[in-house]
Amino acid sequence: MHGELVWVIGAGGLLGRAVSTELRRRGNAYPTVLFEGAKVPWEDSELSSSKLVGQLHRFLGEAAPYIRWKIYWLAGSGVIGTPAETFACETRVLRNFVEALAEALMEPVSEPVAGLTAAEEPLASRGAFFLASSVSVYAGIPGAPYDESSPVAATSAYSAGKLDNEAVVSASLTGWLPHVIGRITTLYGPGQNLRKNQGLVSKLCLQAVKQQPISVFAPLDTIRDYLFASDAARQAMAFLDAAIASGETATRVRDLANGSTLSIGALSSLVRHVSHRRAGELHVVPVHTGAHVLDLRVRSQYGYEITGLDRVPIAAGVRRVYEDVLFRYVHGR
């Protein structure tokens, strides 16, 4: 069999849905099959670890005839303000998974041998792994714009959890197979879970629909890079493909960003312009914490690996989110 088998862990989230959609589109030109994993009980770390490891062995068994297999780890429910215990559980599940993956790769990475079928080539030589992380890991060090060479320092349980996740992936997979840690800027897009304490674009759009005030927990001059979910998906795929093409098995860190920024105040004005509604006022709630940094711009050193990828302009992206939120609100969703 030709093509690739891909497992998107966290396929129900904003980025997971976007990656799955882009993979299906790509499958029209490049044979791609999505692995159908069973539902994972994320609320129980021990049970979710057991389920995931069991599914991992099934996945690797099904991957045998494929030329290439990939795993995208896009799972995680924690946000800024989530207790540290939640992130510790998420890291524990991830550690159990990547350690089991490393154990399954019984042979070191080697060049494909002429004449061998995919099933005869070492698993590691055909695999790749992507971990979704966050640019929030830069927040503790002044000096925006940041890039992949910038030092990191956690300012919250959220960013500390992301650094822990990066460490366990690097420790387990270095030397075995190509893997990329993707530090993602502020992700947004249609379908974001409005019940979670995240997604400023979606919440501003909901505010405009309901014409109600909204509380924000950062100054209005806070600058962020807003990355549309489908753009993030294409960048993640391109960065992982570049890692595969290189054959390197050392950890690759890549920043996924739109490349342009807006302040919270400017974003609010854009939502009012797109919605043609007089939205409610923004209430800035003073929060005495180092979790928020005013300027979190990033510039990747590896833009050449994603050359040619289109980016959704922020105005067009906000319009698509607003239309989605309006539709869900009108239909009671």
User: Going from the N-terminus, what domains does the chain have, and what CATH number goes with each?
Assistant: 4-330 (3.40.50.720)
Return the DSSP state at 2.
-
Mean pLDDT of 136-152: 94
* pLDDT for residue 68: 94
Tokens 């093409």 label which residue? 245
At 311, is the pLDDT very low, low, confident or very high (cuts 50, 70, 90)? very high
Mean pLDDT of 180-187: 97
Task: Report the predicted TM-score, pTM, of the whole model to 2 decimal places.
Answer: 0.92
The helix or strand, by DSSP H or E, that contains position 58, with its residue range, turns out to be helix 45-63
- Say what angle helices 264-275 and 200-210 make with each other, to 10 degrees: 40
252 within 8 A of 149, measured Cβ to Cβ:
no
Least confident of 61-65, 101-105, 119-123, 258-262: 119-123
Pairwise CA distance, residues 8 & 74, whole Å = 7
Question: 53: which 2 tokens?
Answer: 């490891």
At 333, is the pLDDT very low, low, confident or very high (cuts 50, 70, 90)? confident
Q: Per-residue pLDDT tens for 55-102?
A: 999 999 999 889 999 999 999 877 776 777 888 899 999 999 999 999
At 115, is the pLDDT very low, low, confident or very high (cuts 50, 70, 90)? very low
Q: Per-residue pLDDT tens for 9-41?
A: 999 999 999 999 999 987 666 689 999 988 888
Pairing of strands 214-216, 282-284: parallel
At 113, is the pLDDT very low, low, confident or very high (cuts 50, 70, 90)? very low
Higher pLDDT, 129 or 111: 129
